[in-house]
Structure 1
Amino acid sequence: MNTLNQFKNFTANLPKNGESDIMPALFMGHGSPMNGIEVNEFSAGWANMAKSVPLPTAVLVVSAHWFTRGTKITAMDFPATIHDFGGFPQALFEVQYPAPGNPALAKETASLITATAVELNHDWGLDHGAWTVIRHMYPNADIPVLQLSIDYTKGAQYHYNLAKEIAALRKKGVLILGSGNMVHNLRMVSWEMINGGGYDWAMEANDKFKTAILNKDHQALINFEQMGSEVRLAIPTPEHYLPLMYTLGLQSDKEQALLFNDKAVGGSLTMTSVKVA
């Protein structure tokens, strides 16, 4: 290709009218770790979503499975693949997702956050809330992946506000992805419904969440404890719900929410996922 054609191709991809391209923000219902190695409707939904968004410069994951005192971000060159589960087939433990990290981006992200001091962490890696989803989205493991922890001492409003502090990363091609489950009560799982179906309370809670998301009623979702008894059953502990606060906190007034992978499994889990763009 000659130099003139290269220049034409480059300029054709520049943002128009002085506006910067902004990466979507995602919330993924990740469900069972087995979704990491199975080709099913959920993993296909993740893969299709990756094809529908611009190729990111990096992925920043807020996973339900890195629940810490204080806020931390992975800052190593090559984060380890963490198998933070038990009782699953050996094939799942053998999976490695060797995506690189990005220490410079970790430092930049930490510098954007003023609500708290952010620790640059070299001991964690990519837990199953991250790699089981991302390996279907970017199977070549050639895009840097970082994780931002969830401070368990803080409430939903804090996490929603913290997300706004890192919104500038979206203009730099960073895909910010929350990974959890809106309805997540493992103590009440029904094996009879493991392939699909939810208790009435789980479906009612999920419908409340979806309605509020589509109506941009973020305050109701922040104050989820006040949404009724079915929501209290759906969120017995908050770690799988709080990643949603990051996705919603990133939503601008002009952006809409799209729901996908909207299905209940095991009676007391929902895989409902959200794209904000």
Structure 2
Amino acid sequence: MAGLKDTFFISHGSPTLAIDDSLPARHFLKDFRQTFLTEEPNSILVVSAHWETTEPTVNAVSGPSDTIHDFCNFPEPMYRIKYPAPGAPELAIKVKKLLNEAGFKQVNEDKKRGLDHGAWVPLMLMYPEADIPVCQLSVQTDMDATHHHNMGKALAPLKKEGVLIIGSGSATHNLRIRQSINDSVASWAAEFNDWLKESLLSGRHEDVNKYEEKAPFAKVAHPLPEHFYPLHVAMGAAGAGADAKAELIHDSWASYTLSYASF
């Protein structure tokens, strides 16, 4: 069993994870609380691949969060899903303060933005009651992995305050090569995924920070970095040394190239 001293990287895959009961990752997330947490968080911080900004930004919503359906041409039931979790403005203030103190001088607040599917898809399976306050933190795609790792390091103290820190992205994310077959895996995707698992489990965090030059098929697995950077934040927030030892908690595939590896 893990706890709030741990941070998590969840590969959220396709938005249809919310409704497709054939996906093993869906069942992994539905069992998450009972399997991986020894206590309930008082709030949740989600770093989502689906919120890109120039500077780090937190959403500081006071009431129930809007559910953002940020996808097109999906099954109609997807657009009826609501996840009205309470906002966490107090947590947003703490996140902003910690980042400022760590040298991130410009950190913005968005008091209107709800939860995108990078947040609500996994959370609706993990916490279906939508009763735990949620704050989102954006990624900056014009910055590098080390920038996001340092963001995570700044946020590590939140774990001691009962905050569950989740990076929500994807271990591999190349939608241009994705195919609607689930019984095989592209060789390049498997090789990148194996490198990632071995690097994280061996504690080679600097290699993961420099994945574009260290990993096989890095630019094929991630043509753009937004789905990988949440991992770097979660990795930084985990701490240093033995405290940051990674554990693979789920490993499955869909659509030929889409890894659901989670740590």
Please report the TM-score for the alignment, with normalisation by the length of structure 1: 0.87
- Equivalent residues in 2 for 1:16-55, closer than 5 Å: 22-39=4-21, 40-51=23-34, 52-53=36-37, 54-55=39-40
Equivalence for 1:209: 196
- SS of the residue 1:116 aligns to: coil
Matches of 1:167 and 1:43, distance apart in 2? 28
Structure 1 residues 29-81: Cα deviation after superposition (integer angstroms, max 9, x where no partner) = 00110111233421211122222212111110001000111111010112210
The more displaced of 168-177 and 46-55 is 46-55
Equivalence for 1:224: 211
Equivalence for 1:12: none
How much has 1:28 moved relative to structure 2? 0.4
Structure 1 residues 127-161: Cα deviation after superposition (integer angstroms, max 9, x where no partner) = 00000000111111100011000122211001101
How much has 1:196 moved relative to structure 2? 4.2
Q: Structure 2: state its 5+ residue gaps.
A: none
Structure 1 residues 232-267: Cα deviation after superposition (integer angstroms, max 9, x where no partner) = 210111000111001111223233322132122222
* Cα distance, 1:83–1:196 mapped onto 2, change above 3 Å: farther
How much has 1:92 moved relative to structure 2? 0.6
1:70 correspondence with 2:70: no
- SS of the residue 2:44 aligns to: strand
Conserved? CA contact 1:185–1:268, under 8 Å: yes
Counterpart of 1:235 (choices 219, 222, 228) is: 222
Conserved? CA contact 2:149–2:236, under 8 Å: yes
Conserved? CA contact 1:203–1:264, under 8 Å: no
Aligned partner letter, 2:25: F
How much has 1:93 moved relative to structure 2? 0.3
- SS of the residue 1:79 aligns to: coil
Q: Structure 1: state its 5+ residue gaps.
A: 1-20
Aligned partner letter, 2:201: L
- Equivalent residues in 2 for 1:179-198, closer than 5 Å: 179-191=168-180, 193=181, 195-198=182-185
Matches of 1:251 and 1:154, distance apart in 2? 21
1:110 correspondence with 2:92: no
Aligned partner letter, 1:96: K
1:85 correspondence with 2:71: yes
- SS of the residue 2:176 aligns to: helix
Equivalence for 2:127: 138
Please report the TM-score for the alignment, with normalisation by the length of structure 2: 0.92
* Cα distance, 1:179–1:196 mapped onto 2, change above 3 Å: farther
How much has 1:228 moved relative to structure 2? 4.6
- SS of the residue 1:166 aligns to: helix
Equivalence for 1:272: 261
- SS of the residue 1:99 aligns to: coil
Matches of 1:197 and 1:61, distance apart in 2? 31
How much has 1:89 moved relative to structure 2? 1.1
Structure 1 residues 164-185: Cα deviation after superposition (integer angstroms, max 9, x where no partner) = 1111110011001001111110
How many residue pairs get aligned? The number is 252
Equivalence for 1:254: 242
Query: How big is the alpha-carbon RMSD for the aligned residues of Structure 1 and Structure 2?
Result: 1.4
Matches of 2:162 and 2:40, distance apart in 1? 8
Conserved? CA contact 1:196–1:263, under 8 Å: no
Counterpart of 1:166 (choices 155, 160, 183) is: 155
Matches of 2:26 and 2:252, distance apart in 1? 13
Matches of 2:231 and 2:143, distance apart in 1? 15
Give me the identity figure in percent. Answer: 37
